[in-house]
Structure 1
């Protein structure tokens, strides 16, 4: 038994994940009824990540603020401001890109005349945002309310900084324990991925594929926009704001992409990104704040979804619609702000899609139809949207950390080189003075003679 466990640990993670995907897919296709219990492995894995992620974020963020220099004289935020700037630029770019592409390639879909009635009454985004922040800390940990978790952890971390060294050591020990628990869960990830793949295969075979084929143009449009964001826009953001080559950092995103694609949850992928950041020696004061913050407010995939579905609904309802510039601007602003305000709210898109559609005066029965299409495409859309969201969080964090360390190393090298240059100049000056003194002495001796 010990030898099997040792072999399992020595096997590279990517190989274990591929085996898990392959076995889960084969069982789902060949013998789904006999191995239905395999689906529970995926459920247990996702729930384990979802339940440990809030506690991990809470403890690590308190620990990061406790040991940081934020607020001190000449303190450093370790690139956090730059990461937040990249989140904002990425969100705006996703909004502009999705609106531009959807306007150029006007995709329309068949809408039902009598859709299932759903509640699409207006709700205040500001009220929703406040409710997500003002939350009982215990309930926030239980229900995974990350905006409230970030707020409470920040307050507690600020006050823990003013306590004795023993209290700070307790926080450090709790952070180490939470990290080890997460590592144990991630070691069992291949079994969880196997269960998720089994569930996907059985769901795909049990549902009719004709429904998805009806919306193939919509699926292709979403995938094209997401691919442009991942392979073109994000690398440009990294290049402009950090002077780093994003494609050199992308191999580090491999594990994050696999997990986020199958879990369909940025929150559940926080421990994965944290572990990757630790393996890459990312400054903990940056990763423990930037990664959970990105999982909470950075949602380019959701922004693309909101803009795309609103414009598809418009072109399906009125193909010859004359859209004003102000309507485009309003849609872009609404999608960017609302995606951050409603982060963590279950089925939040059901609230955002009607808000975006009403910018173009789309009737309620058409909005209901586009919501049904959104529900039908949930797995495909959520998988790729979460992959874009979570991998972007990690990519920006890695790039900023590398920039910070490179600049710091360059600064140290410059200081060392400056000292060497100064010492060399001093030596050269001393030699020149000695030569001049000897020459003067020789000249004086000759004059005396």
Structure 2
């Protein structure tokens, strides 16, 4: 009992780090004995994925239904930040790929995968997802559809009796409580995920792709520690690094191991609540961010596309490179919030340079080889940035409101 009390006194991040270290030690020293513990990782991710769609549906519906007329949210600012961050990430990846060009040894065969035929097809899929059957959307974790139906039902329930709104709010609170119970098992889940990753893939297969991984992860780190802090400072006019580090520590770590932006939605919701953010905003912005805020995906698409370009000795001019940045951002917004979701959009970007689809799909195969680290880092950047930009928009709003209040007080004193 004393040991349990000491364990509960530790912060969740410290508990996760302990689980991480134990998982690495077990996987390296006694992999055969450790392998059964991989079930903990599967259970943890499945629980998060299971609760997230229902949680998002009730949270958004409750927030919209109880939203009072005249009460402002930050959704416009948040969406602008999402799109700006994704575009800048793609632009950084293009610039770095020109400074440190990477060539690939393309495998002769790849997995039997089918990629979208064009940007129009991606956008068509997104639109069809919006009008998906609501029950089917929840079942398949189609967050665009879940958001659309939750917003419509929320608007329809704005004039409903208070008892109905209270019932929906109670459901929302109950689901949030279940999420806190699931997150308490994060240290054990991550221990299982680490054991599974090391025993199944190892790190030897990544040695041959060291330079490609260095460029991919280097771009993501630059976006996380340079580009994003600049965006936060310009908007909020405060030291950005405490917020950046908090988001990476409390959201990025779990996202790194779950490798799913969708599975990390409950974790991000909890962090937003901890930061004291407006529930009306983050209940919509977090699930939306898991769909369209894809800076890491933009980096992956740009770097792997230009790696194929360099391998085939294709000349690229500056205007085409800028178009690639825009295209990678659009493609990234269409990436699904699951492991490896961005890789199937690489052929779209490759088509910009006239690269045949069969060659592009071999590049996708390379993406799956390096995906052990690439996809984990990508998801950590994507998911942690959802909270970062949601918080940034709110801090900007508070700063502007504070300036208005100070100005009014100054005018009153002058009068």
SS of residue paired to 1:144: coil
Displacement over 6 Å in runs of 4+: 416-419
Report the Cα offset of residue 368 of structure 1.
2.9
2:377 to 384, 387, 394: 384
1:238 equivalent to 2:244? Answer no
Q: Which residue of 1 aligns with 2:166?
A: 169
Q: Distance in 2 between matches of 1:345 and 1:406?
A: 36
Q: Which residue of 1 aligns with 2:20?
A: 21
Q: Which residue of 1 aligns with 2:8?
A: 9
1:158 to 137, 141, 155: 155
Aligned positions, number: 412
196-205 vs 340-349, greater mean Cα deviation: 340-349
1:122 to 92, 117, 120: 117
Q: Which residue of 2 aligns with 1:399?
A: 392
Q: Are the structure 2 counterparts of residues 110 and 399 from structure 1 closer, same or farther at C-alpha, using a change threshold of 3 Å?
A: same
Report the Cα offset of residue 41 of structure 1.
0.3
CA contact 1:294–1:393 (8 Å) conserved in 2: yes
CA contact 2:261–2:338 (8 Å) conserved in 1: no
SS of residue paired to 1:360: coil
1:67 equivalent to 2:51? Answer no
Q: Which residue of 2 aligns with 1:57?
A: 56
Q: Distance in 2 between matches of 1:171 and 1:416?
A: 41
Q: Distance in 2 between matches of 1:12 and 1:112?
A: 45
Q: Which residue of 1 aligns with 2:266?
A: 271
SS of residue paired to 2:233: helix
The structure with more radius of gyration:
1
Q: Are the structure 2 counterparts of residues 20 and 345 from structure 1 closer, same or farther at C-alpha, using a change threshold of 3 Å?
A: closer
Q: Distance in 1 between matches of 2:77 and 2:46?
A: 32
Q: Which residue of 2 aligns with 1:440?
A: none
Q: TM-score, normalised by structure 2?
A: 0.92
SS of residue paired to 1:37: helix
Task: Please report the RMSD computed on the Cα atoms of aligned residues, expressed in angstroms.
Answer: 2.3
Q: Which residue of 2 aligns with 1:182?
A: 179
Q: TM-score, normalised by structure 1?
A: 0.85
Report the Cα offset of residue 114 of structure 1.
5.7
Q: Distance in 1 between matches of 2:77 and 2:109?
A: 49
Where in structure 1 are there 5+ consecutive unaligned residues?
Answer: 426-449
Report the Cα offset of residue 369 of structure 1.
2.2
Q: Distance in 1 between matches of 2:73 and 2:9?
A: 34
Q: Distance in 1 between matches of 2:113 and 2:375?
A: 21
CA contact 2:340–2:371 (8 Å) conserved in 1: no
1:203 to 188, 200, 205: 200
Report the Cα offset of residue 415 of structure 1.
5.5
Report the Cα offset of residue 378 of structure 1.
1.4
CA contact 2:116–2:122 (8 Å) conserved in 1: no
Where in structure 2 are there 5+ consecutive unaligned residues?
Answer: none
SS of residue paired to 2:172: helix
Q: Are the structure 2 counterparts of residues 55 and 383 from structure 1 closer, same or farther at C-alpha, using a change threshold of 3 Å?
A: same
Q: Which residue of 2 aligns with 1:41?
A: 40
Report the Cα offset of residue 154 of structure 1.
0.6
